Structure 1
Amino acid sequence: MESKDLQRLQELETLLRLNQFSRSNTSNDEIDLKELVNAILQGKWTIIVVSILFTIASIAYALSQPNVYKASVLLAPASSENGAAGLSKLAGQFGGLASLAGINLGGGNTDKTSLALEVLKSRKFIEEFISENDLAVSLIAVESWDRVNDKPLYNDELYDIDAKIWTRDVSFPKTIIPSSWETYEAFSEILSISQDKDTGMVTITVSYYSPKVAKQWLTLLVKQLNEKMRLQDSREAQNSIDFLTAKLEQTQLAEMQNVFYQLIEEQMKTIMLAEVSNEYVLKTIDPANVPDKNDKPNRVLIVILGLVFGGVFSVLTVLIRYFSGKSSANSEDA
């Protein structure tokens, strides 16, 4: 009995100690929270002033940034019952005979839309586009746009608009006159291409300081891409016709002649389609328009972030100063 009573007394003593420890921690938490609030209240003017300064700085920064406008166009793959389907069918019917004659019909399954998008992203096409339309100065030297007079504003340290010469001071490997690689990178930064995997729809956007210029460049870009793909297919089809005609003259087999005639017919269809189709690969569903609202910068977000960052920075500064001073005072008392 005595041992059981002793055990109960020990358990009660343990519970009492745990209860006291819990109350002590709660009391310390309350004291720490009150002290934290007190420290913030003591430095409230510092917090207010610093937050205001950060907000003013963020407003000034937001207003100093030039407007950037984004023009977009929605495109669909141009449907065509031309060489691809025809060659695929012929490959199944006469693939064996054609291979004996040294001709590879293939499957005809090339996705022209995917090919066109890869061409659009390629350095060669973009460099040709920049060169043909003389866009180097607009890409590198223009820093903003005068909406009132509708004209570009150039960075004088980069380009002398009166003398029409580059004046920028650059270090190796860059040159005074921007290289084709540099202009390609500059254009790639303002170009965006996306394709919906479910519908196949393609969205292309171009961003620039002028909404009109953004729309003009985008329209011209799609036009030149379709033209390039059209001429490329037409040229390849003509080369195929020349080759097949030569092969036709060399064979006396009726079956092989039939294969060549049908192949030539399919290539003729490709040329005819290329001649009559302006939108050869990508067909415009929603054309590019001049955007009314700028895409960047988001000035409201910049100001809000400035205010939040200023508030957090000022609160941390006040707390660090408060507890540093308290620690120094405790050290002196000790």
Structure 2
Amino acid sequence: MNQVLHKPDLPNEEMDLRELFSAFWEGKWVILIITVSCIVGGAIYALKLPNEYQASALLAPAQNEDGSRISGQLSGLASLAGVTLGGGDANKTTIAKEVMLSRAFLGDFIARHEIAVPLMAAENWNSGAGEWVYDRTLYSAERNEWLLDENGESLAPSTWDLVKAFREQLTVSENKDNGMITVALTSLSPNAAATWLRWLLEDINEHMRAQDISDAESSVAYLEEKLEETSIAGMQQVFYQLIEQETRTIMLANAQREYVFKVIDPPLAPEEKAGPKRGLIILLAGMLGLMLATIIIFFRVVLKTGRTTSNQQELSGE
């Protein structure tokens, strides 16, 4: 007896494109409402964001070629005397850039100029009154003090928090073709952006100059000590030349106001805002709403197709 096996007809689980397009057309109001809602929400959010202003300065390395040449000529004599001349082979500009971003330097800078409160507690800038608008949940402008949290601890930020916040507003870039350096600082206040950046450039020049002067003075003291210990005329001549070089370094450092960075284009208070990009925020919100509405309609089609398939299977089983 021959048995004929009948393969049951499997329901077609693939969605028809026509059905999919029909579902999107039927849900056009859902898509429109969700997209418009996201656009309105994005617009409200963007309008609540405070304006940000960016001040920038163009710098050139203030290198002393004459001093570098003399240092090179005396490097051999210094090695004979067992002394290492200050300056070495390290690029002062590179060192200054790293120091400018260092935690120690920025921590001292923020404390010295007392900008911790506007840096961390300001939520806006009142251009009409020319004053900061502080977050009342963090700082009390009336009492001039940081508030306390639920545990009674001060909300004053740590030095590391201040440094991180300042780094986020500071950018340093170098043009590899000509060696020019651009330093930019962003703030809620255009005046603060320009003023803080000017202070920063003045302080880094002063910091590097004071450090080089201190190193040179230490070298002079060491060389004078060695000079008194030797009676060899040749070595005495070497020490005199090295002392002369270090003294020259001290004199040039005291004479140069812009020691490491020469300001080509000084920072000025910007007249146009640098952010936020409100149009871009609204556009992204609209795209997000459209994607969300599309996903909702798609899952509705999937669920509808699944229920239809399940009903067909139940009917086939009966």
- Kept in 1: contact 2:58–2:180 (CA 8 A): yes
Per-residue deviation, residues 25-48 of structure 1 (Å, max 9, x unmatched): xxx99x822222211111111111
Report the counterpart of residue 76 of structure 1 in structure 2: 60
- Kept in 2: contact 1:123–1:184 (CA 8 A): yes
Letter matched to residue 54 of structure 1: C
Tell me if 1:290 matches 2:269: yes
Q: 1:185 aligns with which of 151, 164, 171?
A: 164
Please list, as runs of the form range in 1=range in 2, the aligned pairs for 1:1-334 lying within 5 A after superposition: 32-92=16-76, 94-95=77-78, 97-99=80-82, 103-105=83-85, 108-169=88-149, 175-333=154-312, 334=315
Per-residue deviation, residues 210-259 of structure 1 (Å, max 9, x unmatched): 11101100010000100111111112212222222222233222211211
- Kept in 2: contact 1:91–1:106 (CA 8 A): no
Who wins on radius of gyration, i.e. which is larger? 1
Equivalent residues, number? 301
Give unmatched runs, 5+ long, in structure 2: 1-12
Please report how far the alpha carbon of residue 312 of structure 1 lies from its aligned counterpart in structure 2 after TM superposition. 1.6
Please report how far the alpha carbon of residue 79 of structure 1 lies from its aligned counterpart in structure 2 after TM superposition. 2.2
Secondary structure of the 1:283 match is: strand
- Kept in 2: contact 1:170–1:176 (CA 8 A): no
Please report how far the alpha carbon of residue 330 of structure 1 lies from its aligned counterpart in structure 2 after TM superposition. 3.9
Alpha-carbon distance in structure 1 between the residues aligned to 2:192 and 2:121:
15
Secondary structure of the 1:204 match is: strand
Give unmatched runs, 5+ long, in structure 1: 1-27
- Kept in 1: contact 2:119–2:165 (CA 8 A): yes
**TM-score between the two structures when normalised by the length of structure 1:** 0.84
Percent of pairs with identical residues = 39
Secondary structure of the 2:273 match is: coil
Please report how far the alpha carbon of residue 278 of structure 1 lies from its aligned counterpart in structure 2 after TM superposition. 0.8
Alpha-carbon distance in structure 2 between the residues aligned to 1:67 and 1:324:
46
Secondary structure of the 1:153 match is: strand
CA RMSD, Structure 1 to Structure 2 (Å):
2.2
Stretch of structure 1 that moved more, 215-224 or 245-254: 245-254
**TM-score between the two structures when normalised by the length of structure 2:** 0.88
Please report how far the alpha carbon of residue 54 of structure 1 lies from its aligned counterpart in structure 2 after TM superposition. 0.7
- Kept in 2: contact 1:91–1:107 (CA 8 A): no
Please report how far the alpha carbon of residue 104 of structure 1 lies from its aligned counterpart in structure 2 after TM superposition. 3.4
Letter matched to residue 132 of structure 1: R
Letter matched to residue 179 of structure 2: G
| Bigger helix fraction | 1
